[in-house]
């Protein structure tokens, strides 16, 4: 692999593989952006309400993964009924704007992309 492409290396610490692979799941980016947009602490149920088509299981799994990565902090209150609050860590706060950049790009160009996909479908279909 050429020098200036070493960032793409297959090493276990390859940044792209380690970081982008996480964003690849269905919910992480969404959760990060919701926490970023909201600004402060959010309870589990609050997140569940905003991202209303996520299942309880997947919200839990996603939050655990983000917590493991040090992007989200979890605070558990020993009360009945239990209360759990989530917020971005400093690392998370640092990351979110970069994700938002990409999200803004996505917003701006999603129509073009969707149109391109349609055109491509037709092109492929016409060759059958």
- Interface with DNA, residue 25, by CB under 7 A: yes
- Interface with DNA, residue 127, by CB under 7 A: no
Segment contacting DNA by CB under 7 A, of 40-48, 87-95, 104-112, 114-122: 40-48
* Closest residue by Cα to residue 46 from 30, 57, 35, 58: 35
40 binds, among a copy of itself, DNA, none (CB under 5 to 8 A by kind): none
How many C-alpha atoms does 88 have within 13 Å on its Cβ side? 21
At 20 the three-state DSSP class reads: helix
Q: How many residues sit in the footprint of DNA (CB under 7 A)?
A: 24
Q: Residue 48 class from Cβ within 10 Å (0-12 exposed, 13-18 middle, 19+ buried)?
A: middle
- Interface with a copy of itself, residue 37, by CB under 8 A: yes
Which parts of this chain interact with DNA (CB under 7 A)?
A: 25-27, 43-46, 48, 53-58, 60-61, 63-64, 74, 76, 81-84
């Amino acid at each position: 692999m050429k020098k200036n492409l070493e960032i793409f290396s297959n090493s276990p610490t390859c940044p792209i593989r380690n970081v982008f692979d996480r964003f690849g799941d269905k919910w992480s980016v969404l959760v990060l952006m919701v926490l970023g947009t909201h600004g402060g602490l959010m309870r589990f149920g609050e997140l569940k309400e905003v991202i209303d088509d996520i299942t309880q299981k997947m919200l839990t799994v996603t939050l655990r993964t983000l917590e493991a990565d040090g992007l989200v902090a979890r605070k558990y209150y020993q009360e009945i009924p239990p209360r759990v609050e989530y917020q971005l860590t400093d690392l998370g706060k640092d990351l979110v704007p970069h994700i938002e950049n990409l999200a803004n790009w996505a917003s701006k160009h999603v129509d073009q992309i969707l149109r391109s996909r349609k055109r491509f479908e037709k092109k492929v279909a016409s060759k059958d």
